Structure 1
Amino acid sequence: MTASLLTAGIATAHLLGLFAAMHAVMHMRTPQGAVGWTLGLLLLPYVTLLPYLYLGSSRFLGYHAGHRAPAAPALSTTADAAAPVDPGCERYAAISALQRRPFRSGHRLRLLIDGAAAFEAMLGAMADARHSLLVQFFIIHDDALGRRLQQVLLERAAAGVRVCVLFDGIGSHALPQHYVETLRTGGVAIHRFATRRWRNRFQLNFRNHRKILVVDGTRGFVGGLNAGDEYLGLKPPLAPWRDTQLELAGPAVADLQQLFADDWQWITGTALPLCPVPPADGHASALVVACGPADPQETGSLFFAAAINAARQRVWLSTPYFVPDNAVRAALQLAVLRGVDVRVLIPSRPDHRTVFLASTLHAYAAVRAGIRVFRYQPGFLHQKALLIDRDTAAIGSLNLDSRSFRLNFEVAALAVDHAFTAEVAAMFNADFARAKAIDEREYREAPYLRRVAMHVARLFDPLL
């Protein structure tokens, strides 16, 4: 009896593995992923069926069904009345078409370097809110900074401000329920971003990595910072924490509102009223860039590839995780061949060892292709910044890895403005002054087993 049950169980596992393998062949984004899953599901279904249930989907299903129509004219007339966009925006027409929204002119931009300056500005802006406060973080911690955030949100809700908060269920897995309930009791509408619908129910890969703050529809913030003490550099061994945030005022704030509203409607099923945007009074042209696993294209990768291909003088980028896909790697190599000054700034300290090992191998390949790679020395580098030539810069939440390209919901602001780009270039130069250039010896002189570990880690690129 026991033998027959065991035989039946093995046969069932192989049958389910066969069906799952057929699903993998049909739906994996890459041939490598399809081959890997198919072999595992056919040969070792008892080992791979459960991981495939949680990690195998390559699309976040149903999200676009909740998307609202493009922003109403009332939200964009100010942009129409503003001065024409910078002529330099024309070479990013592909990115604009990918986003299905135009560059807008008339923005004021402020670069916020590191956590103390960024949170002073963001918490101060929140405290000034009079009508609406939209707050979204990948991670919220119940620590000193998290409680400062909580207090500001409660004060604004008590003052009659509509306060809406989103946090990612996986990124904020350690957030205690009493933190959330305290906010709800105080009148704050707060929700965990989760897959929610049955088609995505078991998927752990999809995360909302966006960091968005919009105050009264007039001021918006994007960047790499989450709400936790480590982002202020208060938690060794990664301290001091190096990060960057961008404050913008102008028509593109309407697009940040809309992104938040899309996520809000997906989770709550209700539409979120949007504040009108005041007249534009700045000089910078900007485009909000959003990407995620619900997009029909691989928007994150295409954004980086298009921006790099537009460069003629320099491409400087900063990322904590350097795991480029083939398209971005090719764009960087072609830029070098065009004579472009290509530099990549990455951490010298790991926060995720598997990603760090894979990044080290990619850095070795980049150096061999003529790309200059630097390791930031003082602490952990979490900054996500991109500099193109002398007029374009982007700040946001996108890392240079497959997770940001394909698995996370992300957001950045792409700005075309000489003055702002000069500020970002000065920031980069200060970072490079605190960094060490690496060469091929970093890989070649590493112990053999460490090099093997790098190559094993690279096998997991699609999940990193």
Structure 2
Amino acid sequence: MKWILIISIIIIAWCVVDFHLGKRLHRKKLRKREYPLRNGELTFITTGKDLFNMFFSDIQHAASTIHILFFIVKNDKISMEFMTLLQKKAKEGVQVRLLLDWAGSRFHVSRKTLQQLKAAGVEIEFSHQPSFPFYFFSLQQRNHRKITVIDGKIGYTGGYNIGKEYINLDPVLSPWRDYHLRITGESVGDLQQEFLIDWERIHHIDGKIHSISPSPSLTAHHVQHRFFPSEGQYLEEEFGDLIDGAKQSIEIGTPYFVPTKILFEKLLAAVRRGIAVTILIPNKSDHSLVKEASFRYLRPLLREGATVYQYMNGFFHAKVMIIDRNMCDIGTANFDRRSIALNHEVNCFIYDQAFTDQVASVFQKDILHSELLTLRDLQQTTWITKIKELTAWMIQDYL
């Protein structure tokens, strides 16, 4: 028993040192990437059925290149349909590159499926495989981006992955509520650039394969927006600037609300200066402890006058922020420490009144399917919930 305790202490100490040293070195190497304001046509998608009808149709009509990055692809019917379609396009001579996150997808995609994809000509790789010398830190990093670029002209990004739960076939989490974007116009080249940066890292190539990517369509459309990629740094600053700049309202929708200390304090300050802060989170949870992890942040916000809703009509997975009802953010990043301080993410900041009105309208409809969470609700928790909350607080950076 004594030796088990000693070994456990050594392992925990090693993990802590590994994580913090790895994170520090990672941040030293990071360089902030920013893209300018672009014009484009954005389609706002909120159901899996609508998304995959469009998504699969665009892939079917691809003529030259298909570049896809997902955090999760499952081993189920819709995932196999997706993989079969990619094989078909590769056999037609289309360049198909599929990049999946190692932690999110590697243990879902079978060896047989990998062999079939490669035999058909699909180039498939896994991002963020754990590696030494900072094994525990690299194990915690995720490529949480969802990026698709087809023929350099059509782009997709947002909250959806590939799996049966996203088309309402999970008996526990259905119906699944999420926000996604289909993009045409100038910014598709920015998404293409982000995909290629991640792809090149796998192949240890520095800028040598960009030339084989088709030039994106530069046809100007009316919606102004910009993409912001993050890799465990800089997103906190971007979110903080949005919160500080709010003059009337801040509306946040997220499946996991575990803010960093800085963002939490900025939200408290916003409520105190009279900004109407509304937070929408799911009542159901798809991961253990993440719901309880939010309680220690929601209590102070509720005391100061923030409004919190729990989505009751299935599972709410959308990642959205609406500032003063005149701009919004839709992306892959949750409002939690993992997305902000660890993951690779990509967010779309949209500066268009009509589009923001559309997003705000959908957000309000989702609130109609929600119940108000009160301070009293969080003060009258069971002892089991209290234990979960304490455990969640201890490991909140890794949830």
Q: TM-score normalized by structure 1?
A: 0.79
2:89 corresponds to? 156
2:112 corresponds to? 178
Which has the larger displacement, 44-53 or 251-260?
Answer: 44-53
Of 57, 64, 70, the match for 1:131: 64
Residues 75 and 109 of structure 2 are in contact (CA less than 8 Å); yes or no, is this contact kept in structure 1? yes
Of 370, 383, 397, the match for 2:318: 383
Structure 1 residue 200 displacement after superposition: 4.4
Q: Over residues 90-147 of structure 1, what are the superposed CA-to-partner deviations in whole Å (9 max), with x where a residue is unaligned?
A: xxxxxxxx6433222x211100012111111111111111111110100111211101
Structure 2: distance between partners of 1:455 and 1:144: 39
Which amino acid is the alignment partner of residue 231 of structure 1? Y
Which amino acid is the alignment partner of residue 397 of structure 2? P
Of 35, 60, 80, the match for 1:147: 80
Which amino acid is the alignment partner of residue 131 of structure 1? S
Is residue 59 from structure 1 mapped to residue 26 from structure 2 by the alignment? no
Q: 1:60 to 1:249 in 2, by over 3 A?
A: farther
Of 285, 288, 306, the match for 2:227: 288
Which amino acid is the alignment partner of residue 244 of structure 1? Y
Residues 225 and 245 of structure 1 are in contact (CA less than 8 Å); yes or no, is this contact kept in structure 2? yes
Structure 1 residue 58 displacement after superposition: 4.3
Residues 66 and 262 of structure 1 are in contact (CA less than 8 Å); yes or no, is this contact kept in structure 2? no
Computing the radius of gyration from Cα coordinates, the structure with the larger value is 1
Q: Over residues 202-261 of structure 1, what are the superposed CA-to-partner deviations in whole Å (9 max), with x where a residue is unaligned?
A: 531011111001111111111111111111111121111111111111211111111111
Residues 118 and 124 of structure 2 are in contact (CA less than 8 Å); yes or no, is this contact kept in structure 1? yes
Residues 129 and 161 of structure 1 are in contact (CA less than 8 Å); yes or no, is this contact kept in structure 2? yes
Of 99, 102, 125, the match for 1:191: 125
Q: Provide the secondary structure at the position in 2 that maps to 1:398.
A: coil
Q: Provide the secondary structure at the position in 1 that maps to 2:104.
A: coil
1:274 corresponds to? 213
Structure 2: distance between partners of 1:346 and 1:196: 31
Please, what is the CA RMSD of the aligned residues?
2.3
2:102 corresponds to? 169
Which has the larger displacement, 266-275 or 253-262?
Answer: 266-275
Q: Over residues 297-339 of structure 1, what are the superposed CA-to-partner deviations in whole Å (9 max), with x where a residue is unaligned?
A: x312112111121221221111010001111112212222333
Residues 138 and 210 of structure 1 are in contact (CA less than 8 Å); yes or no, is this contact kept in structure 2? yes
Structure 1 residue 452 displacement after superposition: 4.1
Structure 2: distance between partners of 1:332 and 1:53: 31
Q: 1:206 to 1:177 in 2, by over 3 A?
A: same
Structure 2: distance between partners of 1:155 and 1:407: 35
Of 9, 12, 15, the match for 1:48: 12
Structure 1 residue 45 displacement after superposition: 4.0
Of 227, 236, 239, the match for 2:162: 227
Q: Over residues 20-76 of structure 1, what are the superposed CA-to-partner deviations in whole Å (9 max), with x where a residue is unaligned?
A: xxxxxxxxxxxxxxxxxxxxxxxx743424534774554286799899xxxxxxxxx
Of 335, 359, 366, the match for 1:431: 366
Equivalent residues in 2 for 1:252-267 (5 A)? 252-267=187-202
Count of residues in Structure 1 that have an aligned counterpart in Structure 2 = 389
Which amino acid is the alignment partner of residue 191 of structure 2? L
Which has the larger displacement, 216-225 or 364-373?
Answer: 364-373
Q: 1:53 to 1:158 in 2, by over 3 A?
A: farther
Q: 1:51 to 1:196 in 2, by over 3 A?
A: closer
Q: Which runs of 5+ in 1 are unaligned?
A: 1-5, 14-43, 68-97
Residues 34 and 229 of structure 2 are in contact (CA less than 8 Å); yes or no, is this contact kept in structure 1? no
Q: 1:394 to 1:45 in 2, by over 3 A?
A: same
Residues 107 and 251 of structure 1 are in contact (CA less than 8 Å); yes or no, is this contact kept in structure 2? yes
Structure 2: distance between partners of 1:100 and 1:213: 19
Equivalent residues in 2 for 1:278-317 (5 A)? 278-293=217-232, 298-317=233-252
Q: 1:437 to 1:99 in 2, by over 3 A?
A: farther
Residues 312 and 338 of structure 1 are in contact (CA less than 8 Å); yes or no, is this contact kept in structure 2? no
Residues 317 and 386 of structure 1 are in contact (CA less than 8 Å); yes or no, is this contact kept in structure 2? yes
Q: 1:269 to 1:99 in 2, by over 3 A?
A: closer
Residues 196 and 267 of structure 1 are in contact (CA less than 8 Å); yes or no, is this contact kept in structure 2? no
Q: Provide the secondary structure at the position in 1 that maps to 2:347.
A: strand
Equivalent residues in 2 for 1:297-376 (5 A)? 298-376=233-311
Q: Provide the secondary structure at the position in 2 that maps to 1:339.
A: coil
Which amino acid is the alignment partner of residue 144 of structure 2? H
Structure 1 residue 369 displacement after superposition: 2.3
Structure 1: distance between partners of 2:49 and 2:194: 26
1:399 corresponds to? 334
1:410 corresponds to? 345
Q: TM-score normalized by structure 2?
A: 0.91
Q: 1:321 to 1:230 in 2, by over 3 A?
A: same
Which amino acid is the alignment partner of residue 93 of structure 2? G
Which amino acid is the alignment partner of residue 362 of structure 1? Y
Residues 143 and 228 of structure 1 are in contact (CA less than 8 Å); yes or no, is this contact kept in structure 2? yes
Which amino acid is the alignment partner of residue 101 of structure 1? Y
1:80 corresponds to? none
Which has the larger displacement, 422-431 or 230-239?
Answer: 230-239
Structure 1: distance between partners of 2:64 and 2:28: 28
Moved beyond 6 Å, runs of 4+: 62-67
Residues 293 and 389 of structure 2 are in contact (CA less than 8 Å); yes or no, is this contact kept in structure 1? yes
Residues 217 and 275 of structure 1 are in contact (CA less than 8 Å); yes or no, is this contact kept in structure 2? yes
Structure 1: distance between partners of 2:27 and 2:259: 26
Which amino acid is the alignment partner of residue 12 of structure 2? T
Is residue 114 from structure 1 mapped to residue 47 from structure 2 by the alignment? yes
Residues 115 and 244 of structure 1 are in contact (CA less than 8 Å); yes or no, is this contact kept in structure 2? no
